Amino acid sequence: MIQQNETSGNSSAQIPGLTTKVWFITGASRGFGRIWANAALERGDKVVATARKRASLDELAEKFGENVLTLELDVTNPDQVKTVVEQAHTHFGRLDIVLNNAGYSLVGTIEEASAAAIHALYETNIFGPISVIQAALPLLRKQGGGHILGVSSNLGHVTLPVIGYYCSSKWAFEAIHESLAAEIKPFGINVTLIEPGAYATEFGSPESLKFAQGLDIYTDFKAQFFNRLRALERGNPAATPDALFRVVDAENPPLRFFLGSHNLPAVRDAYSERLATWEAWEAVSKTAQGQSNQGTPN
């Protein structure tokens, strides 16, 4: 079994004109994380691939040798995150792309999910990425730039029942990255939210789903919901790397980027409905403003 030597030097330190990128990817054992890690390596980039179980990354190490560094990482452990991010930066001499991909979905209605289950979801989907970002930022500033990618979802703009807590984690994820983008732009660091629609990945596998203890009153509702989900057209995840590379290679990458063809129509409809509601209630909203005392003497 070939394993990348973790103590090798900084042979790929930043060189003017160098086009090879160094990626740091969480959740690289399966799904988009694995597909994008493999594709980045195939195009000649270098990748630090992390997962909860390092053995799940052995195939990458065997195939790509010294161009990949595989590391065990539980993003809910902030101390481990800091150590692993610094180890990754030292190993390759820089990190050009920090890709927060690790996450899972909690299946259950708002009433069904326990506080412990909700907390665990947020630990992985929100606090984990924050730990990675906070560990990486001092290194990216010191090297003079970089690109932080966060894998969100079209469900960061719209919601579905039964996975409402997952949706809420993506809404928080979106807000955090939008604020982050403004805060670190002066340092030459870019931020992009990657927002996939429905894809035929392992995201629906037991490893990527956790279930709240069900209540009988929701059994029929959830059955109908899952029947609708099964009927959804799903994209081919193997078709996504070229689009992702267009984003990371862009001189001015977007803050938000949809993956797939169904997201924009759905989000456009959702925002149109919201605007219509706000406008319909605008007169009532204005009554709550009260009298302005700006410029009025005491």
How does residue 14 score in pLDDT terms, banded at 50, 70 and 90?
Answer: very low
As given in the structure block, the two tokens for residue 94 are 């820089």
In 10 A of CB 188, how many CB atoms? 13
Kindly list the domain boundaries of the chain, sorted by start residue. 22-280
**Residue pLDDT, tens place only, 47-69:** 999 999 999 999 999 999 999 99
By annotation, the residues acting in catalysis are: 152, 166, 170
Pick the CATH number of 22-280 from 3.10.580.10, 3.40.50.920, 3.30.1280.10, 3.40.50.720: 3.40.50.720
**Residue pLDDT, tens place only, 122-176:** 999 999 999 999 999 999 999 999 999 999 999 999 999 999 999 999 999 999 9
Question: What's the pTM?
Answer: 0.89
